[in-house]
Chains A and B, each alone.
Chain A
């Protein structure tokens, strides 16, 4: 196959990626869009195989089979609640692949006349970015999977240590560019992996949506850099697309939490600052039974459900829909308010509700529904905490002050389903729980749902 023909076919693949992403703009066309993207990838792979008349087909086939098998099994078996971990893991593999491509290129080519300054720069940067993506993503995976503590933490001298490590890494990048050996490259790879680990470990679980989208952007940049290495536009274009989408999502997440990227990456949050929710203890709450909740819901005109991660952990999304169906049969209008950081990655809650066949027309984003709460009979909070904390709006001394919240406290009644009064990820108390028109139903989300369903049927 000629260079020119291959170039055109790669261009078609890149266009397919863009068309595919464009179709993600509506749930109705999204699935086809994803398939178009996959088609583009298949085309690019075939072109590559044919074009280079691959010398050692067995190595390639073995890699494709091993990787494809692992990917297939993971994708088929993952629980929807574990989606963020899986995306993080896939992301890590992508970053790792980029770093390995660059490493192999360096080993085979360094010293040869074709290995010019440009190749050296891109190899060094790709190893750095790919390595950080690889280890950072797997730390994010481990945190979300509960393998390492999700709490943010710091240690003495952390800033100095990190800064020193960063300086050493930069020095190694420069050394590699001006003519380092393979040994320098391996050390750079090792320290890049270390950098990813020490950068992500101190970040708390609540900030993981931001970290995952940021690392996603990073893996896109790694792919684009790999494209500079081997001089391939297809990689540069798709890497740029991924980088753009990751940065956009990062920006959305950061705004939804009223923070900055710098805060997320470089300041531990929630661990020690707001640690004292027990301040004036034994504040009275209105504790409710399933029957109380059923009556309040069953005779309401309109209900806005605010689902949180507690719902997802309990796998209660199907029961929630069953309850919503029952209420709708009784003539209650049911809608869902989705905070941008509900769940563990951007839009995660929407996927969980879609899994339970909740029609997407009933899902409303924060800015679409926040003004409707005062006219709503009941706001039903299931396993959510920080995203409905009125302190974010009213208390300028609160660590989450300024974060956009769902105005559950402005509804005529609020019902909060939660296992206990314990503070959420941000580690701060929630005044909503102590309001006169708030009913607290202390239970696991799944058990709560089935109890309420039974009680509504009795009405």
Chain B
């Protein structure tokens, strides 16, 4: 893939990110951070590719560690965000 296309995608995505995220209310900033953090665990894709592509011992070990680290980030991040957001639901208790 052409580097210019990659950069274009990056810049446009960053712009969309700013537009969407500046409207998130302060109440939800912690879940936003932990949720977006979970999304950064998308490196799991890279980790999977690396873990799968190579046969060498170094590749296997690094790939295994990368997959584990990224999975901690993804699974933990989404679960804990869900736990937080669960507490924000339906507060019509009076």
Taking the complex as formed, is A90 at the interface, i.e. its CB lies under 8 A from any CB of chain B? yes
- Once A49-B48, A75-B75, A76-B79 are accepted as A-B contacts, the answer to whether A94 and B31 lie under 8 Å apart by CB is no
Closest partner residue, chain B, to A44 (CB atom) = B45
- Do the beta carbons of A90 and B46 come within 8 Å of each other? no
- Do the beta carbons of A245 and B43 come within 8 Å of each other? no
Closest partner residue, chain B, to A346 (CB atom) = B29
Q: Contact string, B8-24, partner A, CB cutoff 8 A, digits 1/0?
A: 01110110111011111
- Do the beta carbons of A71 and B9 come within 8 Å of each other? no
- Do the beta carbons of B71 and A68 come within 8 Å of each other? yes
Q: Contact string, A251-264, partner B, CB cutoff 8 A, digits 1/0?
A: 01000000000000
| Chain A residues numbered 205-253 whose CB sits less than 8 Å from any CB in chain B | 212-213, 216, 219-220, 222-224, 226-246, 248-249, 252
Most buried by B among A52, A107, A220, A242: A242
A357 to B64, CA, bound (A): 41
- Once A83-B84, A107-B56 are accepted as A-B contacts, the answer to whether A240 and B13 lie under 8 Å apart by CB is yes
Instruction: Enumerate chain B residues within 8 angstroms of A54, measured Cβ to Cβ.
Output: 48, 51-52
Instruction: Enumerate chain B residues within 8 angstroms of A26, measured Cβ to Cβ.
Output: 25
Q: Contact string, B83-94, partner A, CB cutoff 8 A, digits 1/0?
A: 111111101110
Taking the complex as formed, is A55 at the interface, i.e. its CB lies under 8 A from any CB of chain B? yes
A83 to B28, CA, bound (A): 14
Instruction: Enumerate chain A residues within 8 angstroms of B17, measured Cβ to Cβ.
Output: 18, 21, 240-245
| Chain B residues numbered 36-58 whose CB sits less than 8 Å from any CB in chain A | 36-56, 58
- Do the beta carbons of A63 and B37 come within 8 Å of each other? no
Give min CB distance, B33 to chain A, whole Å. Answer: 6
Give min CB distance, B40 to chain A, whole Å. Answer: 4
- Do the beta carbons of B76 and A90 come within 8 Å of each other? yes
Instruction: Enumerate chain A residues within 8 angstroms of B18, measured Cβ to Cβ.
Output: 244, 248
Instruction: Enumerate chain B residues within 8 angstroms of A220, measured Cβ to Cβ.
Output: 36, 40
Taking the complex as formed, is A62 at the interface, i.e. its CB lies under 8 A from any CB of chain B? yes
Closest partner residue, chain B, to A237 (CB atom) = B13
- Do the beta carbons of A223 and B14 come within 8 Å of each other? no
Instruction: Enumerate chain B residues within 8 angstroms of A216, measured Cβ to Cβ.
Output: 33, 36-37, 40
Give min CB distance, A322 to chain B, whole Å. Answer: 13
Instruction: Enumerate chain B residues within 8 angstroms of A239, measured Cβ to Cβ.
Output: 10, 40, 42
- Do the beta carbons of B24 and A338 come within 8 Å of each other? no
Instruction: Enumerate chain B residues within 8 angstroms of A238, measured Cβ to Cβ.
Output: 13, 39-40, 42
Give min CB distance, B17 to chain A, whole Å. Answer: 3
A86 to B71, CA, bound (A): 14
Instruction: Enumerate chain B residues within 8 angstroms of A237, measured Cβ to Cβ.
Output: 9-10, 13
- Do the beta carbons of B79 and A347 come within 8 Å of each other? no
Instruction: Enumerate chain B residues within 8 angstroms of A64, measured Cβ to Cβ.
Output: 67, 71
Instruction: Enumerate chain B residues within 8 angstroms of A359, measured Cβ to Cβ.
Output: 91-93
- Do the beta carbons of B73 and A93 come within 8 Å of each other? yes
Q: Contact string, A420-436, partner B, CB cutoff 8 A, digits 1/0?
A: 00000000000000000
Taking the complex as formed, is A316 at the interface, i.e. its CB lies under 8 A from any CB of chain B? no
- Do the beta carbons of B71 and A67 come within 8 Å of each other? yes
- Once A75-B76, A213-B33, A248-B21 are accepted as A-B contacts, the answer to whether A240 and B14 lie under 8 Å apart by CB is yes
- Do the beta carbons of B79 and A31 come within 8 Å of each other? no
Instruction: Enumerate chain B residues within 8 angstroms of A219, measured Cβ to Cβ.
Output: 37, 40
| Chain A residues numbered 36-94 whose CB sits less than 8 Å from any CB in chain B | 37-38, 41, 44-45, 48-49, 52-57, 59-60, 62-64, 66-68, 70-72, 74-76, 78, 80, 83, 86-87, 90-91, 93-94
- Do the beta carbons of A52 and B48 come within 8 Å of each other? yes
Taking the complex as formed, is A354 at the interface, i.e. its CB lies under 8 A from any CB of chain B? yes
- Do the beta carbons of B83 and A21 come within 8 Å of each other? no
Q: Contact string, B56-76, partner A, CB cutoff 8 A, digits 1/0?
A: 101110111111111111111
* A87-B30, A93-B69, A94-B40 known, 13 other contacts, Cβ within 8 Å: A37-B39, A60-B51, A60-B63, A75-B80, A83-B84, A94-B43, A98-B43, A103-B62, A240-B13, A242-B39, A252-B29, A357-B93, A365-B25
Seen from chain B, the residues whose Cβ lies within 8 Å of a Cβ on chain A are: 1, 3, 6, 9-11, 13-14, 16-18, 20-56, 58-60, 62-89, 91-93
What are 21 A-to-B residue pairs whose CB atoms are below 8 Å? A30-B31, A48-B48, A54-B48, A63-B47, A67-B67, A87-B77, A90-B77, A91-B73, A93-B70, A93-B73, A107-B58, A232-B46, A236-B9, A242-B17, A244-B18, A252-B26, A338-B26, A346-B26, A346-B30, A347-B31, A358-B91
Ranked nearest first, the 3 interchain pairs of A and B with the lowest CB-CB distance are: A67-B71, A63-B67, A347-B29
